[in-house]
Amino acid sequence: MFVSAPSRRALLSWLLLTTAWLLIGTIAQAAEPDASQRAAFRQAYAAARQGGDGWQTLATGLRDYPLYPYLQAAALEHDIQQIDRATVESYLTHYPDWIPAADLRRSFLLELARRQDWTGFLALYQPGLGDTLSCDALQARLAGSGTLDFDKDLAALWAKPNLPDACDPVLDAAHDQGLLTSARLWTRIDRAADAGQAGTIASLTGWLPDADRPSAQQLAQALRDPAGTLASAISWSDTPRARQAATLALTRLARRQSASADAAWQQLQAHFSFSEQQRNQILYALALFHATDFDDSALARLIALPAAVQTDASREWRVRVALAQQNWTAVLAGIDAMPASQQQDGEWQYFRARALTALGRGDEARRQLAAQAGSPTFFGFLAADRLDQPYAICPLSLADDPQREQALLAKPGLLRAFELYAVDLPRLARREWARALQDADQSTLRVAADLANRRGWYDRAVFTLSSGDALQLYDLRFPLASQDGLVPQAEQAGIEPAWAYGILRAESAWTSDARSGADARGLMQLLPDTGAAVARRHGLDWGGGDTLYDPAINIALGTRYLAELAARFSGSPWLASAAYNAGPNRVDQWLAARGALAPDLFVATIPFKETREYVARVMAFSVIYDWRLHGNAVPLATRMGAIGQPYGLPNATTQRRVVDCPASAPSSAPATNSSTLSASP
């Protein structure tokens, strides 16, 4: 009997899946895989991702390997446009609770939608798979002569400001059924305007009555071209929708060009009868973004804002502007104007002490600093430096818990996570980890993080141990991964290893395959173009952007790039850290504007929240890593030398600060609330 190639493939897949099903009960109990099995899996997995049946020969000895089903799924995913439903259903039946099965179901549903095989789609569909497949499911029902019920079928989707293209046919059908009334259209347009989704507004405009369309177009224009919108707004009629569009354009333009927005406001406030809420919204945006520009009028604008309009952001910028002016009375008044919860932030406690010192209230300042110096944070370390007292770091360590370890190692999902990490598939490993531990308590999570750390999977501890007394597990949260060569590479580059560790920890939290939206990659988050340029300048090997996922290559290039930035800023690690995050040209601009400020004030007045917090985080991490490496630390005040003052690398004569756990510190108390923690020796 002749069997076609696709049918043979389906038959082979079915036979392999049946065999795997018989073996699956023994997979979790298999012995720890050895290096040869892992090497064979890597080869087979690479072949499976190319599709076809070639991977099966390479996987001959892997039938009892814990990740064997990943091979079959990879091949099926590649061949998704050729396989049939029976093949997919067979895999789903044999591995119903596996992550690759869920992925395969989703991929095949998308393929069935592409084929418009709506019968097959509905047979495999499960709710909760995302907006695209939700809309595909509605389209499948419509293809079967079904109808839509707005409240049941569309209300949840309609509440979202943006939807995937797969929803377009469903929305068209809803319109044809008369479900998209003007009131519903305007509800979604308003939601889209608040979310900045001009495309959504434009897509809905055509369904509005003719008289309403210009108003919707004005809203879309306000989002896309606020300056142009404001230039033409002076000729608009004073209607509620026109006021809405003008308000939107003014607040959008204030973020980009506060002076231009201010000029437009002066012209339009008499033309439109803005509501009190709209006026306050506009005044708030103007005040806030004049503040981020550090305009002369910014402080007065912020103080003048009505109390009902004030937010944590406006209150903190009131203090930042005062710090930039070194107006210490205004600094103190600004902090006093904050709610008690905001005043408790370490930054504002520290700057309250700075203001008190400048105003001659030294005793109050010392008490404030003493309270802050007990925290192992950026501002806690700065406070300790001002008091010339030891840094307060109170480490804890995990107590042995062999029973819990054995229970965890009996979890097939966690074993798969560890094995996926061992074969260099960290993204898949993280998914298995999350599923295996989704209901785990804190004690169990800590033991799991320790198990991962022992296997060189450092980022699990960083992300898992993120609250409470687990923050004191410094050996897990700040690993010293000597196999990646950071210390020798930093020394060869001419920078401090503790600082390089701080950058790495802040950039990726030890996630070797990290990739940002801007395409920065790897442990030290380098852009491919930057990596190529640094490699060329220093004569280092370069094999393309993906080599940045190799920790050794990433660290070699990242430490050289850090050294280049440090050289540009007189060796200063804190300014180079700002440049690493925001770019050296922006740092040059900030220095030109506020380069006479003391380092702590300069950091506080960096316009970008991300960069402010990044510099503080890196410098605090540098102290902790210095302590991890040497048992004490170069003072943060030394690392944060005055702008323009050359910074020299620490040597044998450099004064270092003692690290101690004060008896009065809450963290020094025994960790009696957790059976898995003990005080470090």
In a domain, 119, yes or no: yes
Q: For the residues 404-411, what does the mean pLDDT come to?
A: 95
Strand partners, 515: 521
| Pair 464, 521 in one domain | no
Phi and psi at residue 180, to the nearest 5°: -95, 80
Contact 137, 121 (CB under 8 A): yes
Q: For the residues 613-640, what does the mean pLDDT come to?
A: 97
In 364-412 the beta strands, taken as DSSP E runs, fall at 391-392, 396-398
pLDDT score at 665: 57
pLDDT score at 681: 37
Q: For the residues 275-282, what does the mean pLDDT come to?
A: 96
377 vs 109: CA distance, rounded Å: 49
Three-state DSSP class for residue 304: helix
Strand partners, 391: 659
Last-in-domain residue among 100, 126, 152: 126
| Pair 501, 616 in one domain | yes
| Pair 517, 648 in one domain | yes
Q: For the residues 108-127, what does the mean pLDDT come to?
A: 97
Residue 638's nearest CA partner among 389, 394, 382 is 382
Count of domains observed in the chain: 3
618 vs 298: CA distance, rounded Å: 30
| Pair 573, 606 in one domain | yes
pLDDT score at 674: 40
Q: For the residues 90-119, what does the mean pLDDT come to?
A: 97
In a domain, 288, yes or no: no
Indicate the average pLDDT of the chain.
92
Q: For the residues 323-344, what does the mean pLDDT come to?
A: 97
Give Cα separations from 576 to 2, 495, 534, 566, 647 (angstroms): 69, 11, 16, 5, 11
Last-in-domain residue among 111, 126, 141: 126
In a domain, 457, yes or no: yes
Last-in-domain residue among 126, 144, 161: 126
235 vs 251: CA distance, rounded Å: 19
**pLDDT tens-digit profile of 1-39?**
333 444 444 444 444 444 444 444 444 444 789 999 999
| Pair 459, 520 in one domain | no
Contact 431, 75 (CB under 8 A): no
**pLDDT tens-digit profile of 233-278?**
999 999 999 999 999 999 999 999 999 999 999 999 999 999 999 9
In a domain, 180, yes or no: no
pLDDT score at 664: 62
In a domain, 68, yes or no: yes
pLDDT score at 667: 45
Sign of CA dihedral 357, 363, 368, 370: positive
| Pair 427, 507 in one domain | no
H or E element: which one contains 49? none
H or E element: which one contains 361? none
In a domain, 41, yes or no: yes
Question: Is 51's pLDDT higher than 90?
Answer: yes
pLDDT range class, residue 145, cuts 50, 70, 90: confident
254 vs 246: CA distance, rounded Å: 12
In Å, the largest CA–CA distance within the chain is 99
| Pair 29, 60 in one domain | yes
pLDDT range class, residue 483, cuts 50, 70, 90: confident
| Pair 632, 558 in one domain | yes
Measured in whole angstroms, the distance separating CA 570 from the mean position of its chain's CA atoms is 31
| Pair 488, 416 in one domain | no
Residues of the domain holding 504? 482-668
Question: Is 607's pLDDT higher than 60?
Answer: yes
pLDDT score at 662: 87
Strand partners, 679: 396
| Pair 467, 486 in one domain | no
Higher pLDDT, 158 or 668: 158
Contact 451, 422 (CB under 8 A): no
pLDDT score at 4: 41
603 vs 608: CA distance, rounded Å: 10
| Pair 436, 521 in one domain | no
CATH number at residue 570: 1.10.530.10
| Pair 459, 497 in one domain | no
β-bridge pairing 391-392 and 659-660: parallel
pLDDT score at 19: 43
Contact 624, 469 (CB under 8 A): no
The percent of residues above 70 in pLDDT, for the chain, comes to: 93
In a domain, 286, yes or no: no
**pLDDT tens-digit profile of 631-665?**
999 999 999 999 999 999 999 999 999 999 987 65
Q: How far apart are the first and last CA of the chain?
A: 76
Three-state DSSP class for residue 515: strand
In a domain, 296, yes or no: no
615 vs 604: CA distance, rounded Å: 10
- 31 burial level (CB within 10 Å; 0-12, 13-18, 19+): exposed
